[in-house]
Amino acid sequence: MFGIKKKGRKEEVSYTKKHPFDEMVIDKINDFMTENMLSLSLVANKAGMTYDRLYQLLHKNKLIKLKEYVDICDAFGVDLDFFVREKKTTRLQGKKKTDYFEPF
């Protein structure tokens, strides 16, 4: 699942595969964006990260850092446990995209 590389005196852990829990959360984030018609560029801008980084997190084998997860949840205006709950994510109830994302 992961390998340890020795780098000088410190050991560096490099992950080669996402944990199934991470994949579940990423899938829910992607579903949420699709259901609410949110673009990668809009979410990346609102979360304070680059488009490329968000794309790597959601579509490549990159691990999501806690700060990045918090920034994404803040951008969506949802609680941190929103994507880890057992129930399926749903559309933004009674709110429009503009309620969460102010025009730039």
DSSP the chain: -EEEEEETTEEEEEESS--HHHHHHHHHHHHHHHHTT--HHHHHHHHTS-HHHHHHHHHSS-PPPHHHHHHHHHHHT--TTTTTSSSPP-PPTT--HHHHS---
**Domain positions in the chain:** 18-100
Over residues 41-85, the pLDDT tens digits come to: 999 999 999 999 999 988 877 888 889 999 999 999 999 988 887
- Write the pLDDT tens digit of every residue in 10-30: 554 444 456 677 788 899 999
Structure-model confidence comparison of residues 3 and 31, the more confident one: 31
The CATH architecture one would assign to domain 18-100 is Orthogonal Bundle (1.10)
